[in-house]
A = this chain, B = another copy of it.
Amino acid sequence: MIDFDLTEEQQMIRDTVGAFAREEIRPAARPADESGDIPAALIAKIAELGLVRGALPESVGGDGAERSAVTGAIVAEELAYGDLAIAIHCLAPRLLAYPILEMGTDAQRARILKPLAASGFVAATAALMEPRWDFGLTDLQTSAKRDGANWIVSGAKCGVPLAAESETILVYAKSGAGEGFTGVEAFIVPRTSAGVTLGDREKSMGLKALATYEVQLKDVKLGAEARVGGDKGINYSRLMSESRVGFGAMAVGVMRAAFEYTRDYAKERKAFGVPIATKQAIAFMIADMAIEIDAARLLLWEAAAQLDKGADALEESYLAKNYAAASALRVADNAVQALGGHGYIREHPVEMWFRNARGFSALDGLATV
């Protein structure tokens, strides 16, 4: 039955996280972007929202709340509405937790999820991207070879958030033949494993507050228990769809931030004696932002609803994420344009949203639902 309304619970979550994003995260965004550091106190405060622990089973100390991709998309949008770097940082533990929650063995769930359910922020992450211009989810070059009962994982990863402070990194690697999304496994890799080397913290155009790293894996020896899902392995395609929906939803959050700021600025700012918002060139820009935000969100929610029904949603999530990425750049670019010279200086946040927005098409695997 067609329904465009969120459940009451989802509305409550949206309002709570949204208010927190506006009041707590947004004010910290610029300082964090300039300094490259997110205040530990803020991270701890966000952790209290239980965004990671929430969906973990009570058996491991979680809240046992039902996990929903739609709800996940809402949370991702609201946090990114506050700040993208802080949103990715605080949700990073999900990159390890959710694949194991969904596809791990009981033993893996018990072993890995328990610490993540602890109170306070517990860093964890996953390594997916590889440092190539044409990197794609369907052509991983990091390899996993069987060595008796064990695995040998080798390759180079990049854009791994929080790698330096995470005990455990979930590493995606190609284990076998197969086209597209087949033949890929996820491995639970202790950061201190022999053969794992972290590069210096990466420097990017945007996301400056988010600590990401290159991770080199040289003949990393792992036991059978490291393979997520044991002999069953993982449904890589579905995990990537969840990733796209999460990251795409964050793009919507950034768009919304840029839209609201531009709308309010354009009503205040006067040129030739009238608010610039009364000029069609600016007004239509703002109308376009509003339309693109709703369009991207609906596309992502459609993919999320598919995931919640158990489908892979490969096509839906791919199209929706790419759409959101392109729209976010256009919206942020127009936000800078609408503010003119004021959009170009760091006194206003729009230039930061512009730099962050460009990341959505360049990056992958930084979020999930």
Chain A residues proximal to chain B, CB less than 8 Å: 279-281, 284
List of B residues within 8 angstroms of A280 by Cβ:
279-281
Nearest B residue to A279 via CB reads B280
Q: Give me 5 A-to-B residue pairs in the complex whose CB atoms sit less than 8 angstroms apart, sorted by A's number.
A: A279-B280, A280-B280, A280-B281, A281-B281, A281-B284
Min C-beta distance of A88 to chain B, whole Å? 37
CA–CA, A281 and B282, complex, Å: 10
CA–CA, A64 and B70, complex, Å: 75
List of B residues within 8 angstroms of A284 by Cβ:
281
CA–CA, A284 and B280, complex, Å: 10
Nearest B residue to A281 via CB reads B280
CA–CA, A279 and B281, complex, Å: 9
CA–CA, A284 and B284, complex, Å: 12
List of B residues within 8 angstroms of A279 by Cβ:
280
CA–CA, A279 and B279, complex, Å: 9
Min C-beta distance of A276 to chain B, whole Å? 11
List of B residues within 8 angstroms of A281 by Cβ:
280-281, 284
Nearest B residue to A280 via CB reads B280
Nearest B residue to A282 via CB reads B280
CA–CA, A309 and B78, complex, Å: 61
Min C-beta distance of A321 to chain B, whole Å? 27
CA–CA, A291 and B25, complex, Å: 44
CA–CA, A339 and B280, complex, Å: 18
Min C-beta distance of A277 to chain B, whole Å? 12
CA–CA, A281 and B287, complex, Å: 13
CA–CA, A280 and B285, complex, Å: 12
Between A279, A280, A284, the greatest number of chain B beta carbons within 10 A of the residue's beta carbon is seen for A280
Min C-beta distance of A234 to chain B, whole Å? 39
